[in-house]
Amino acid sequence: MDINITTDIDMKGFSKELAMWLWNIAVSLAPYDTGNLRRGITLNNSSNNKITVVYNAYTALYLHYLEEGMGSVKKHKGFISELTVGAFVQEIIFYIQTLKRPLIVSKPMTTLRVSEQGAMFYEKRILNAIGFSKTSLITADDRQKLSNLRYMSKFNTGYQRVSGLKTDIRRIGFNKSQNLPIMHAFIDNRDY
């Protein structure tokens, strides 16, 4: 899912600072449990007439469930199409009117952690299928691997690389050794 912002207004163009500020807004407004979704938001293009912020469904396939308000989690419905786009519009109008430098112009920081909600949606079905049915803890890295598996199974495709600037990350409450030993190669024909 991409947000593309283009302009043909006769001005000095978009600044790199504006692109960084919009990217920070997108990251900060994304729902947050483990930090995996926020980690998957990249700044893909930043030029004088175009800014592209990308939400990577390969690493966070559940973003569509959240955006559409599907399943039991309705409170995040429209977090991209309404909340984030609305904030972008306000900031771009302010920028065009004033040409003032935005507040935050550094790369966003995403804190990865263990889920407070546990496995959700298709994650439970995949974990059961690969023998982790009694797992209560799921980390941001686990959630990313499960999204990868679901994406590959659903779209019958392999690794999907999304280019662009990525958020800086830090881990709180877990280290890589605590991740579940989920193998990326596990794919079958079941609909998870």
pLDDT score of 51 more than 80? yes
- C-alpha 147 chain-centroid distance: 11
Under DSSP, is residue 51 helix (H, G, I), strand (E, B) or coil?
strand
pLDDT(25) > 90: yes
Instruction: Give the pLDDT band of residue 170 (cuts 50, 70, 90).
Output: very high
Q: How confident is the model at residue 9 (pLDDT cuts 50, 70, 90)?
A: low
Is residue 20 assigned to a domain? yes
Let me know: does 140 contact 34? Beta carbons within 8 Å: yes
pLDDT tens digits, 104-135 = 889 999 999 999 988 887 888 888 888 887 77
Domain presence at residue 129: no
How many independent structural domains does the chain possess? 1
Asked whether residue 126 is domain-assigned, the answer is no
Helix (H) or strand (E) holding 170: strand 168-171
Any domain includes 184? no
Q: Is residue 161 part of a domain?
A: no
Specify if 139 maps to a domain. no
Tokens representing residue 41 in the block: 């938001």
Q: Tell me the C-alpha distance between 190 and 91, whole Å.
A: 44
Is 52 among the domain residues?
A: yes
Q: Please give the residue range of the domain that contains residue 8.
A: 2-110
- Show Cβ contacts of residue 169 under 8 Å, excluding neighbours closer than 6 positions: 35, 39, 109, 110, 111, 112
Query: Per-residue pLDDT averaged across 153-181, rounded?
Result: 83
Residue 171: C-alpha distances to residues 35, 40, 109, 179 (Å): 9, 15, 11, 12
Q: Which residue has the higher pLDDT, 151 or 13?
A: 151
**pTM score:** 0.87
Residue 73 lies in a domain: yes
Residue linked to tokens 């974990």? 127
Tell me the percentage of the chain whose pLDDT exceeds 90. 43
All residues at 6 or more sequence positions from 149 whose CB lies less than 8 Å from its CB, including other chains: 126, 182, 184, 186, 187, 192
pLDDT at 57 > cutoff 50? yes
Mean of pLDDT values over 52-60? 92
Percent of the chain with pLDDT over 70: 87
Long-range contacts of 122-125 (CB under 8 A, 24+ apart): 122/61, 122/62, 122/146, 122/150, 122/192, 123/150, 125/192
Q: What is the mean pLDDT of the chain?
A: 85
Quick check: 165 pLDDT over 70?
yes
Measured between alpha carbons, how far is 41 from 36 in angstroms, rounded to an integer? 9
- Is residue 59 pLDDT above 80, yes or no? yes
Q: How confident is the model at residue 56 (pLDDT cuts 50, 70, 90)?
A: very high
More confident residue, 44 or 136: 44
